[in-house]
Amino acid sequence: MPNQIIIHVDMDAFFAAVEIRDNPALRGKPLVIGALPHQRGVVATCSYEARKYGIHSAMNIKEAYRLCPEGVYMRPDMDKYKNVSKRLHDIWNAYAEKLESVAFDEAYLDVTRRAGNFAGARNIAREIKARTRDELGLSCSVGVAYSKTAAKTASEEKKPNGYFEIPTPEDFVNLVIDRDVRVLYTVGAKTAEKLYGSGIRTVRDIRDNRDIVIELLGKQGLWIAALAFGKDDRPVTPREPENAKSISREVTFQKDVDDFDLLKDILALLAIAVNRRANRVGLYGGGVTLKITYADMQGITRSRAKDGVSDARTIYQTAAELLAGVRRRPVRLIGVGIYNLTNGVTRQMTIFDYLENPGENEGGLDDVLAALGDKYHLDFAGHLDEIVQGGVLHKTIEYMRAHPAKPENRLDSGSAALTRLTD
């Protein structure tokens, strides 16, 4: 029996495929999921028809529109995709001894003992593809291999709706030896440029210049050199919430914000969103971070140690203090997070615990939410779950930005405004 038999499953254009499944009129059209053309943002994913125009994930949305103005542009429906992802994971978990989830739509499955050999793994892969099609109406590409790197390479070999096997290191090397260095795991654009600068462009070049690669890239060079010889013994490692290094939430504005009072107000909503996620997984932070990207794309991060923090009030107050100390220039993005996470075994409880019911103690953000409600004429407290756990946080913040808190801008009641935002 091989040391490892690993399946890599990667859904085909996942967000776009779900939308096409739910609206067949979109089939065959260049569909782009992400920001809308008049907004700031990037492409999350796109249909294969859109990719023919040169559009790809992470491309600036305005560049995508320039390439394909006749395309269909849609905002992502994250709640829908999460629900589909859960059903996908149910399918994958039915076959995996261990499962390492990489994203909503991608995972490594260790099937070593269950499959027994590559013929058994082939049958499992076919069942996964068939169930994905029959139960969810979606297609996936599947790779079966002796290692994680080889399995991911295999799943990309025949996209979309593909299947490919790489049983041995020799098979892997024979497949990639004359390909660009970026075919190897961890070789991104910056690393590739360093290698190109030394005349190393293909996997064969890495093998022939192993010492140069190691000298150039250090530990990463050792890893890349090993991959060039087909060596990768990393196990499939389930990603548990308690293994996370940080929890954060951020928002990118459609127009730059130079009102730091508004930014401080936004920190309260972001702090609550971070608090809710931390509570769901039972984790506490060793500090609070504030992240800012200015209009000129310069990014800064500020942090402050805070032992055993997850309550929204402490996160908010600390982030607000950090905000007060940064340079006041137009802001494109702002984010809040907690880091150095623990399960809280040694945590000292404080009077500011927010937990699941913020109204049950004086340490919650009830007073802050009430002040925000008066300021922006929105019923924050009454719609809190929708705002911070659903898909309307960004809409709410854009509403706050677009409706300065002045009496002449009191267009309607808070409940009516939030109802519109949640539609």
| Same domain assignment for residues 334 and 415 | yes
Percent of the chain with pLDDT over 70: 88
8-state DSSP, 230:
T
**Encoded amino acid at 326, one letter:** V
Place of tokens 């019911």: 357
pLDDT tens digit sequence for 29-42: 999 999 899 988 88
The burial of 278, by beta-carbon neighbours within 10 Å (0-12 exposed, 13-18 middle, 19 or more buried), is given as: buried
Place of tokens 């969103």: 273
Helix (H) or strand (E) holding 32: strand 31-34
Grade residue 420 by pLDDT with cuts at 50, 70 and 90. Answer: very low
The average pLDDT across 64-68 equals 97
The answer to whether residue 80 sits within a structural domain is no
The answer to whether residue 314 sits within a structural domain is yes
Q: What is the pLDDT of residue 341?
A: 84
Q: Identify the domain containing residue 288 by its residue range.
A: 241-422
Mean model confidence pLDDT for the chain? 86
pLDDT score of 332 more than 70: yes
Half-sphere exposure of 416 (CA within 13 A, CB side): 4
Q: What is the pLDDT of residue 243?
A: 59
* Beta bridge partner(s), residue 140: 11
Distance between CA atoms of 301 and 290, rounded to whole angstroms? 6
pLDDT score of 77 more than 80: yes
Contacts of 137 (CB under 8 A, 6+ apart): 21
| Same domain assignment for residues 267 and 361 | yes
| Same domain assignment for residues 217 and 299 | no
Grade residue 348 by pLDDT with cuts at 50, 70 and 90. Answer: very low
Other beta carbons within 10 angstroms of residue 80's beta carbon come to 14
Among candidate residues 181, 204, 228, the one where a domain is terminated? 228
Among candidate residues 228, 249, 270, the one where a domain is terminated? 228
| Same domain assignment for residues 320 and 280 | yes
pLDDT score of 205 more than 50: yes
Grade residue 307 by pLDDT with cuts at 50, 70 and 90. Answer: confident
Q: What is the pLDDT of residue 411?
A: 38
CATH of the domain at 388: 3.30.1490.100
| Same domain assignment for residues 260 and 375 | yes
Grade residue 389 by pLDDT with cuts at 50, 70 and 90. Answer: low
Q: Report the candidate in 69, 118, 107, 66 with the shortest Cα–Cα distance to residue 85.
A: 107
| Same domain assignment for residues 257 and 363 | yes
| Same domain assignment for residues 389 and 247 | yes
Pairing assessment for the beta strands 98-103 and 72-74 based on DSSP bridges:
unpaired
Could you confirm whether 106 is annotated as catalytic?
yes
The answer to whether residue 44 sits within a structural domain is no
| Same domain assignment for residues 369 and 407 | yes
Q: What is the pLDDT of residue 2?
A: 64
Rounded to a whole number, what is the distance in angstroms from the first to the last CA of the chain?
A: 55
pLDDT score of 361 more than 50: no
The average pLDDT across 246-268 equals 90
The answer to whether residue 345 sits within a structural domain is yes
How many structural domains does the chain have? 2
Q: What is the pLDDT of residue 405?
A: 62
Q: What is the b/e burial string over 320-343, where b = at least 16 CB atoms within 10 angstroms of the residue's CB?
A: bebbeeeeeeebbbbbbbbbebee
Q: Report the candidate in 270, 310, 275, 276 with the shortest Cα–Cα distance to residue 290.
A: 270
Which three-class secondary structure string do you get for 46-104? ECHHHHCCCCCCCCEHHHHHHHCCCCEEECCCHHHHHHHHHHHHHHHHCCCCEEEEEEC
Percent of the chain with pLDDT over 90: 64
Q: Of 19, 49, 100, 106, which is the active-site residue?
A: 106
Helices of type H across 169-311: 169-176, 189-197, 203-208, 210-217, 219-228, 260-281
Grade residue 346 by pLDDT with cuts at 50, 70 and 90. Answer: very low
| Same domain assignment for residues 209 and 343 | no
Distance between CA atoms of 8 and 105, rounded to whole angstroms? 11
| Same domain assignment for residues 224 and 274 | no
Among candidate residues 183, 206, 228, the one where a domain is terminated? 228
| Same domain assignment for residues 217 and 296 | no
The answer to whether residue 338 sits within a structural domain is yes
Q: Cβ distance 366 to 358 under 8 Å?
A: yes
Distance between CA atoms of 69 and 51, rounded to whole angstroms? 13
Q: What is the pTM (predicted TM-score) of this model? A: 0.69
Helix (H) or strand (E) holding 248: strand 246-257
Distance between CA atoms of 202 and 186, rounded to whole angstroms? 15
The answer to whether residue 257 sits within a structural domain is yes
Q: What is the pLDDT of residue 396?
A: 86
pLDDT score of 333 more than 50: yes
Picking from 91-100, 170-179, 306-315, which range would have the lowest pLDDT averaged per residue?
306-315
Distance between CA atoms of 67 and 52, rounded to whole angstroms? 10
Contacts of 390 (CB under 8 A, 6+ apart): 79, 422
Other beta carbons within 10 angstroms of residue 70's beta carbon come to 8
The answer to whether residue 39 sits within a structural domain is no
pLDDT score of 5 more than 80: yes
Helix (H) or strand (E) holding 126: helix 118-136
**Encoded amino acid at 201, one letter:** R
**Encoded amino acid at 188, one letter:** G
Q: What is the pLDDT of residue 278?
A: 84
pLDDT score of 232 more than 90: yes
Q: Report the candidate in 106, 15, 18 with the shortest Cα–Cα distance to residue 57.
A: 15
The answer to whether residue 208 sits within a structural domain is yes
| Same domain assignment for residues 359 and 316 | yes
CATH of the domain at 223: 1.10.150.20
The average pLDDT across 10-27 equals 96
